[in-house]
Chain A
Amino acid sequence: MVVANNSDLTEKSGNAGVNPSSESFLWNLLNQIPDPDIPVVSIVELGLVRGVKIIDKLKAEVTITPSYSGCPAQSVFTDDIKSLLKQNGFNEVEVKVVLSPAWTTDWLSNDTKEKMRLHGIAPPENEPEAEALFCKQNKVKCPRCGNTNTHIISRFGSTPCKALWYCNYCSQPFEYFKCF
Chain B
Amino acid sequence: MKTKEALINYCLRLADNNLILAQRLAEWCSRGPFLEEDIAMTNISLDLFGQSETLYTYASELMANGKTADDLAFKRNERQYFNNLLVEQPNGDFAFTMVKQFLFSTYAKTLYAQLMESNDAFLKGFASKAIKEVKYHFRHSSEWVIRFGNGTDESMKRAQNAINELWRFTDDMFVMNETDEELISTGITFGADSVYTNWKFTVDDILREANLLLPEDNNVVEGGCNGIHTEHLGHLLCEMQFLQRAHPDAKW
Contact = CB atoms under 8 A, between A and B. Distances in A.
Interface string A80-104: 0000000000000000001111110
Interface string B14-58: 000000000000000000000011011001101111110110000
Contacts of A66: 50, 54, 129
A156 interface: yes
Given A100-B125, A133-B146, A70 B139 contact: no
Q: What are the nearest 10 A-B pairs in CB distance?
A: A70-B50, A69-B50, A100-B125, A99-B125, A70-B46, A154-B36, A130-B135, A156-B40, A156-B43, A131-B135
A55 to B, nearest CB: 21
Nearest to A158: B39
B50 A68 contact: yes
6 contacts: A99-B128, A100-B124, A130-B135, A154-B36, A156-B44, A158-B39
B135 to A, nearest CB: 4
B50 A71 contact: yes
A80 to B, nearest CB: 17
Contacts of B143: 133-134
A154 to B, nearest CB: 4
A70 B51 contact: yes
A12 interface: no
A138 B54 CA distance: 33
A124 interface: no
B171 interface: no
Contacts, number: 82
Given A69-B129, A99-B122, A154 B39 contact: yes
B36 A153 contact: yes
B140 interface: yes
- Counting chain B residues whose Cβ lies within 8 A of the other chain, the interface size class is 20 to 34
Given A99-B54, A102-B128, A160 B36 contact: no
Q: Which of A68, A70, A134, A155 has the most CB of B within 10 A?
A: A70
Interface of A: 66, 68-72, 98-103, 129-134, 153-158, 160, 164, 180
Q: Is the interface of A mostly helix, strand, loop or mixed?
A: loop
Contact of A160 (B43, B121, B122, B139): B43
Q: Is the interface of B mostly helix, strand, loop or mixed?
A: helix
B232 interface: no
A145 to B, nearest CB: 23
Contacts of B129: 66, 69, 99-100, 102-103
A71 to B, nearest CB: 7
Contact of B47 (A70, A99, A101, A157): A70
B114 to A, nearest CB: 16
Nearest to A162: B43
A111 to B, nearest CB: 24
Nearest to A72: B46
Contact of A130 (B49, B51, B121, B136): B136
Nearest to A99: B125
B109 interface: yes
A69 B136 contact: no
B208 to A, nearest CB: 13
B136 A70 contact: no
Given A69-B51, A102-B125, A153-B36, 5 more contacts: A68-B47, A69-B130, A71-B46, A101-B128, A154-B36
B138 interface: yes
Contacts of A154: 36-37, 39-40
Contacts of B51: 69-70
Contacts of A131: 109, 135, 138-139
Given A68-B47, A99-B54, A155 B136 contact: yes
A153 B43 CA distance: 15
B4 interface: no
B128 to A, nearest CB: 5
Interface in B141-171: 142-143, 146
Nearest to B39: A156
